[in-house]
Amino acid sequence: MTSISDPETLALAKALVARRSPTPDDGGCQALIGERLQRAGFTLEPMRFGDVDNLWARRGGTRPVICFAGHTDVVPTGPEDKWHSPPFMPTVRDGMLYGRGTADMKSSIAAFITAAEAFTSDHPRHRGSIALLITSDEEGVAVDGTVRVVEALRARGEKLDYCIVGEPTCVSRLGDTIKNGRRGSLSATLIVNGVQGHVAYPHLASNPVHLAAPAIVELTQEKWDDGNEYFPPTTFQISNIHGGTGATNVIPGELEIECNFRFSTARTLEALKGRVHEILDRHELDYRIDWSLSGKPYLTAKGDLVDAVSKAVREMTGYAPELSTSGGTSDGRFIADICPQVIELGPLNATIHKVDECVAVADIENLHRIYYGTLVNLLKKL
C-alpha cells in the first residue's frame, strides 16, 4: 500500500483547523479540500445555499458509490483565554493535536482526503465511484447544508450506495464504536387553554395547569415501545413548561409545554403523534399542538458497509468495533434518504465542543488507514 505519510495527513488536519470556521462560515476549508481532490481526479461541484458553502465531489461515473460526508464548520470556542493554546492555532502537545474542530471533525476530513488520494493512486482503475459531501452547516440550524445537497442529488436521480460520516463516535479508543443508526427527534409545543381569573374565585376560572396535570403524568409514564435489537425504547421528555403572569394571585389562562421524543425505527412518527392526541383527548383538554421533526430515525443493519468498515478496523487495531445508535442526530439522517447504508466512524468524542478540544496524533493516521482499508474492501481494483 502506497499510503500518504503521517506528516502529510497531520499537516492537512492542521491546515483545516487553522481556518477559523464558526458555523456557518467555511473559512476557506472547502477551497483547500477542492484543490487536493481535483488533483486526484475528482469533479468538483460547489453548492452554495444562503450563507452556506457545500461541496459535492465525485470521482467515477459507475456504481457502487461510496461517499465520505462531513462538515467544516465548528461550534464557538467559548472563552479563548481558557484554552491552553489558541483554538485556531493547531498545536501538538504530549502526542495530542489541540484546536477547535480537531475531533469534530476536521481530522476525519483530513483522513478522508488522504485516504482517497492514496487509494486512487494505488488503484487508479478501481470499480465504482468515490464521492465527498462536505458542508459548513452541520453545527448550526442545518437547513442549507447537507439536506439541500441531498435534495439536489435526489432531483437529478443521483444515488449513493454507501456513506461514511466522519462524526466522532469512539469512546475509549479509536475504532471501538461504529454508529450504524440514529434515533429520530420529534419536538412539540403544546398549548392547553383555560380561563384566567383571580385565585380567590377559582369557580370563575379554569386552571390549565390543574387540567393538564393528569395528562402530563400519563405522558411521562407511557411506554411508547420496547425498542429493538439496535435501539433502546423511545423516550419522552418535557424540556420547558410555562404558565401564568408572574403574579401569585392570578390563575393562568394558558399553559405552554415544550417536549421532545427520541424515537427508534420500532415506532412510526404517525403512531407517536396519534398516541399523544389520544391521551390529550381522553382528558378532554382544550389544546393545540405544533409538531417539529428535526430528524427521522435511520438504521443500517449488518451488511456490506458495516462488514467492510469493521474489517478495516480489525486490521488496523486488532479488535472488533461495537455497533451503537446512541447520541443525538447527525447529517446521516438526511443522507439516509438517498443511501441505503449509512454509518458514522470518527475519532474519540471525549473533548468535542469543549475547551482544549483535541485528538491523538496517532489516531489521525490510523483513521486514514481505516478509511483506506474500507475503500479497498468495497472498491477492489478491477
Catalytic residue positions, numbered: 73, 138
Rounded to 5°, the CA angle 60-63-64 comes to 110
Angle value at C-alpha 63, between 61 and 64, nearest 5 degrees: 135
Using an 8 Å Cβ cutoff, are 188 and 269 in contact? no
Cell of 319: 479488535
User: 237: which 3 cell numbers?
Assistant: 421528555
111 burial type by CB count under 10 A (0-12 exposed, 13-18 middle, 19+ buried): buried
**CA distance linking residue 74 with residue 80, whole number of Å:** 14
Alpha helix (H) residue ranges in the chain: 6-17, 29-39, 107-122, 146-155, 208-221, 269-282, 304-317, 332-335, 361-378
What cell was used for 265?
425505527
CA-to-CA separations, 129 to 42, 82, 331, 335, 352, in angstroms, rounded: 10, 44, 21, 17, 31
SS3 98: strand
Cα atoms in the 13 Å half-sphere on the side-chain side of 70: 30
Closest listed residue to residue 132, CA positions, set 98, 168, 101, 105:
105
Residue 59 to residue 148: CA distance in whole angstroms: 21
- Collect all residues with Cβ–Cβ distance below 8 Å to 362 and sequence separation of at least 6: 95
Phi, psi of 215 (to 5 degrees): -70, -40
CA dihedral for 310, 316, 320, 326, sign (positive or negative): negative
Q: Is 102 helix (H, G, I), strand (E, B) or coil?
A: helix
